[in-house]
Amino acid sequence: MELLLTDPLDMHLHLREGEMLRTVAPLSAKDFAAGVIMPNLQQPVDSLVRLLAYRDEVGKALSQYLFTPLMTLFFKNYSEKELLEARPHILGIKLYPAGITTQSESGVRDIRGAYKTFELLEELRIPLLVHGESNGFVMDREREFISVYQQVARDFPQLHLIMEHITTADAVRFLDSSDKVSATVTLHHLLITLDDVAGNMLEPDLFCKPIAKTPHDRETLRQAVFSGHPRLMFGSDSAPHPRHKKECCGCAAGIFSAPVALPLLAQMFEEQGCLDKLQGFVSDIAKQRYGLPEFGKTVRLSKENWKVPELYDTVRPFYAGQTLQWTATI
């Protein structure tokens, strides 16, 4: 059995820099036609100069691949001139709400402090991608942030607002209620819950942000994806860390899922009897929501067992050492 996917897209991807970039970027570029490249480098990508330099670095690591890096700028209060100059080069602006707590006055002031820029984004039709978590209790952070999403969606009705890597039934409910809002969801949040991270032993390789939630949350996300939710797109949030940042006290958050994303998605969608929904989830919905062009890449998924490597250089992938039922080839 095989399946041809047209232009698979990873709508949320961390490629890092330097050596790590050169290790992980080809693993995404092999399977995907394009990816939304996150700007949270050690020094954030918050100017057009930095963005073009980063895009160059990404391009060099991927010169042998048919892969388009869809770049994002790190949110700050940009001027209209800056946004106009950046617009041809970016997919959108990524907001990390450090310091926002939805239940505090200062939190509200913070988000209002971004309104001037939100107005420009709305006017210039630049999407706003948001890491939607409060600074509250770890299991409540996404739910607590939904009031901010509500407020921004209400106050900027023409802004394309994207809730990144949603993890909760509450986020799905808000997405259901808001025609203008899109969302991405990762592979791992469709597969794991907090039980996998801390239910038995502590599993650093499954520790990510937002943290994996409850079985009910996971089931709600799965139902939305498998039923072909028209505004819910795949974004791996694949986030590599070298072993020494994982096997230690105080380990870093992030799951490296890029190399297994398409095979595992095919396996899941097949198990659910909805393989016909996969093309939409990994490409068509994102193209429609963002108005993306055709990239002209076809990826072949074959139902052939494939054993996931234990390591890619220093990085342990999601499902390391396990055998998947599908493989991806050009």
Q: Is 252 in the site for a copy of itself (CB under 8 A)?
A: yes
User: Please, how many CA atoms are within 13 Å of residue 259, restricted to the half-sphere of its CB?
Assistant: 25
Q: Indicate which single residue of 248, 291, 304, 330 sits in contact with a copy of itself (rule: CB under 8 A).
A: 248
Closest to a copy of itself by CB, 257 vs 283, is 257
Q: Indicate which single residue of 203, 242, 288, 303 sits in contact with a copy of itself (rule: CB under 8 A).
A: 203
Rg (CA), the chain: 19
Q: Is 137 in the site for a copy of itself (CB under 8 A)?
A: yes
| Alpha carbons 232 and 275: distance in angstroms, whole number | 16
Closest to a copy of itself by CB, 89 vs 244, is 244
Site for a copy of itself in 90-119 (CB under 8 A): none
Closest to a copy of itself by CB, 119 vs 195, is 195
Give the active site residue among 31, 46, 205, 237. Answer: 237
The packing angle between helices 169-176 and 141-155, to 10°, is 20
Q: Is 246 in the site for a copy of itself (CB under 8 A)?
A: yes
Q: Is 4 in the site for a copy of itself (CB under 8 A)?
A: no
C-alpha distances (whole Å) from 116 to each of 113, 138, 156 are: 7, 30, 11
User: Please, how many CA atoms are within 13 Å of residue 54, restricted to the half-sphere of its CB?
Assistant: 29
237 in catalytic set = yes
Q: Is 253 in the site for a copy of itself (CB under 8 A)?
A: yes
Q: Is 323 in the site for a copy of itself (CB under 8 A)?
A: no
Closest to a copy of itself by CB, 108 vs 252, is 252
| Alpha carbons 77 and 150: distance in angstroms, whole number | 21
Exposure pattern of 15-53 as b/e (b: 16+ CB <10 Å)? bbeeebbbbbbbbbbbbbbbbbbbbbbeebbbbbebbee
| Alpha carbons 120 and 78: distance in angstroms, whole number | 9
Q: Indicate which single residue of 17, 57, 195, 270 sits in contact with a copy of itself (rule: CB under 8 A).
A: 195
Taking the alpha carbons at both ends of the chain, their separation in whole angstroms is: 15
Q: Is 314 in the site for a copy of itself (CB under 8 A)?
A: no
Binding mask 27-46 for a copy of itself (x = CB under 8 A): --------------------
Choices 65-73, 208-216, 260-268, 294-302 (CB under 8 A): range interacting with a copy of itself: 208-216
Q: Is 313 in the site for a copy of itself (CB under 8 A)?
A: no
| Alpha carbons 129 and 45: distance in angstroms, whole number | 14
Q: What is the DSSP letter of 252?
A: P
Rule CB under 8 A: which residues touch a copy of itself?
137-139, 193-195, 197-199, 201-205, 207, 211, 214-215, 246-253
Catalytic site residues? 237
